[in-house]
Amino acid sequence: MIQLTNVTYSYPRAETPALHDLSLQIPAGQFCAVIGANGAGKSTLCATLAGFVPHFYRGKLSGTAKVAGIDIAGSSLAELAGTVGLVFSNPFNQITGARFTVREEVAFGLENMGVPPAEMAPRIDEMLRFARLSEQADQSPYALSGGQQQRLAIASVLVMRPKVLVLDEPTSQLDPIGSREVFSVLRDLAATDEATVFLAEQKLEWVAAFADRVLVLHQGRLVADGPPAEILASPTLSQYGLEPTRYTQAARAALGAGFRPQHPDLPVTLEQAVEFFR
Amino acid sequence: MNLDVEEVSFTYPGGVEALRDVSLTIAAGEAVAIIGENGAGKTTLVKHLNGLLKPTHGRVTIGDWDTREHSVARMAARVGFVFQNPDDQIVEQTVGDEVAFGPRRLGRAAPDALADATAALEQVELAAESKTHPYDLTTPQRKLVTLASVLAMHTPVVIFDEPTMGQDARGVALIGRIIETLKAEQRTVIIITHDIDFCATHFERVVAMANGRVLADGPAGRVLARADLLATTNVEPPQLIRLAQALGLAAAPLSVDEFIRAWTRRNEPDRRA
């Protein structure tokens, strides 16, 4: 569903590439997370998959990047919009400013896609419920709290049911259970609707618990790619400016103190940690 | 100086009741984390502590100052405030001027303000960027600039609204070190955070809020272990407490060391058996 072949990208006037020779394939229905220190290229990769690189940011893109068989560089943002949805980390960048109410904001994308009004209403209601914004449906998007705006931004993209959903730190402003809810919805979306979900995230606990696959970016290069249990427990993680979950840290401390567990694999989630320490 | 919030209620113009009868005393030198769901009233509460908002009912005093009787500019000498969004705060053309702006507003002579700014920029590891335009930095770096601006003012009270948001592991560790330094200097540190693991690591007292009210207020190990109560405000206990609870340990460990101690204690009888 996502196919990158030798993709290198430099922002205008940048001396070094933000993405360096990336090649990867992500099938339909996979929930893939990209992690890395700030400046590693996570946001740039998200922007590339949605076509903002190179169509909005310009700069120099080489190699081939395709989503759902569509060549990103060879298509316009409008052509890509029906296939790829992008959720920004800052909801202020997402809200159109062209609509007066939360309900109209969610409707915006559907109107642009030409969805008949009779079909729109139930889809919008469903999304407002999912985003826990039904009570705010008639308020201005700007009257919402930061967390509510972030849920609105996600709902406005999800309502279009894109084949590929790209999210750049979508829970940065959400409370913990709000974040968990968003992650579980994304996992269901990938598992049941065969959507490809690609997300950049700092909070490794969520990545460990929900993603099928983890990519590690470091200085624009792909340095690790595999299942969460393997990638997040790797001793190389700290070299890339990442801190393992407390579960992994506690397990390492226990091993250091001489503990010999029944299951030797280092845990990355709560469930695995319970097995490890049992 | 103590911070006193006495039976404070606050209603925004337009009718949203954001605080309902909140009472809270924070003693000089305390480190307090305020947690709770989006919209719980956390930011509204801390904006009362520097006089940005005045209570609709009740009273807020910072030392001997009632916030209703002092301007925000004056309050800035006592309470430093780092906003959630750095772009709400930045006014100057270079990072160095931005950080010196606060101490200059407090009336410090230019060379002293510059020295304060330089020291604060070193603390946030951005000394090399003092001539840079703030908007040429990334958002997480700009947040560190606003943090330095507040550090440079040497206020007895500092408030950070979501300081770790958008920071990577290195940035989170840096902010953790800054908070530990402020605590060692006996300054009062108050943060709002959704990062419960960060909260457990650095804060001795936790205030949980929901619907404009204080839901719980006490030692971190006690408040953060109350999973059912925290769930009502969309918060989960930190990872190590959840693990301890899942393993049936009685302890509420706030660090890896505390967890290992509690877990070892439980295992000892098994080994002897």
CA B124 remoteness from chain centre: 16
Each domain of chain A, given as residue ranges in start order, spans 2-244
Query: Under an 8 Å CB criterion, which residues of A touch B?
Result: 36-39, 89-90, 143, 145-148, 169, 172-180, 202, 205, 241-243, 245-247, 249-250, 253-254, 257, 270, 273-274, 277-278
Question: Do B196 and A37 make contact, defined as CB atoms within 8 angstroms?
Answer: no
- Alpha carbon of residue B223 to chain centroid: 17
Chain B residues inside the 8 Å CB shell of A246: 197, 238-240, 243, 256, 259
Beta strands per DSSP E along chain B: 3-11, 17-26, 31-36, 57-62, 65-66, 79-82, 157-161, 188-192, 205-210, 213-219
> Per-residue pLDDT averaged across A85-104, rounded?
79
Mean pLDDT over the full length of chain A:
91
**Structural tokens at position B95:** 């990072």
Contact assignment for B260 to A253 by CB distance below 8 Å? yes
Nearest to A38 among B162, B168, B263 (CB): B168
For chain B of 273 residues, list the mean pLDDT of each consecutive stretch of 10: 96 91 97 93 95 96 96 92 84 92 90 94 95 91 94 96 93 96 96 96 97 97 97 96 96 96 81 47
Structure-token pair, residue A213 = 């696959």
Q: pLDDT, tens digit, for every residue of A140-160?
A: 988 887 778 888 888 899 898
Do residues A174 and A87 touch, judged by C-beta distance below 8 A?
A: no
Round to whole Å and give the CA distance between A91 and A173: 9
| Chain B nearest CA to A147, separation (Å) | 6
Interface with A, mutate which of B138, B164, B259 (most A CBs under 10 A): B259
Which residues of chain B have a CB within 8 Å of the CB of A153?
none
Interchain pair B168, A175: CB under 8 A: no
- State whether B234 and A176 contact (CB < 8 Å): yes
What is the nearest CA distance from A66 to chain B, expressed in angstroms? 28
pLDDT at A77 (0 to 100): 87
Asked if B149 contacts B119 with a C-beta cutoff of 8 angstroms, the reply is: no
**A176 and B256 in contact by Cβ < 8 A?**
no
Q: Can you tell me the mean pLDDT for A100-113?
A: 89
**B235 chain-A contacts, CB cut-off 8 A:** 175-177
Q: List residues in chain B touching A: CB distance below 8 A.
A: 14, 36-39, 84, 138-140, 162, 165-173, 194, 196-197, 231, 233-236, 238-240, 242-243, 246-247, 256-257, 259-260, 263-264
Q: Do B38 and A175 touch (CB under 8 A)?
A: yes
* Structure confidence at residue A92 (pLDDT): 66
Give yes or no for residue A62 having a pLDDT over 90: yes
- Residue of higher predicted confidence among A88 and B20: B20
B145 in Cβ contact with B122 (< 8 Å): no
Averaged over A37-55, what is the pLDDT?
93
Cβ contacts of A176 on chain B, cutoff 8 Å: 194, 196, 234-236
Shortest distance, CA B232 to any CA of chain A (angstroms)? 10
Measure A136 CA to nearest chain B CA, in Å. 12
Reported ipTM: the value is 0.91
To which residue do tokens 């969610």 refer?
Answer: A106
Angle at A199 between CA A193 and CA A201, to 5 degrees: 140
> Taking a C-beta distance cutoff of 8 angstroms, is the pair A7, A23 a contact?
yes
Distance CA A224, CA A237 (A): 9
Per-residue pLDDT at A177? 85
How many beta-carbon contacts under 8 Å exist across A and B?
105
Q: For residue B120, what are its two tokens?
A: 């604060």
Nearest to B187 by CA among B154, B219, B153: B154
Residues of A in contact with B162 (CB under 8 A): 173
For an interface test with B, the pick among A204, A206, A277 (most B C-beta atoms closer than 10 Å) comes out as: A277
Answer whether B243 sits within 8 Å of A253, measured CB to CB.
no
Query: For residue range A247-257, what is the model confidence (pLDDT) as tens digits?
Result: 999 999 999 99
For residues B87 and A84, which has the higher predicted lDDT (pLDDT)? Answer: A84
pTM score: 0.91
| Residue A94 contacts residue A156 (beta carbons within 8 Å) | yes
Is B240 in contact with A246 (Cβ distance < 8 A)?
A: yes
Q: Are B239 and A246 within 8 A, CB to CB? A: yes
Q: Taking CB atoms and an 8 Å limit, are A270 and B240 in contact across chains?
A: no
What would be the CATH architecture of the domain defined by A2-244?
A: 3-Layer(aba) Sandwich (3.40)
Q: What is the pLDDT of residue B32?
A: 98
Q: Is B38 exposed, middle or buried (0-12, 13-18, 19+ CB in 10 A)?
A: buried
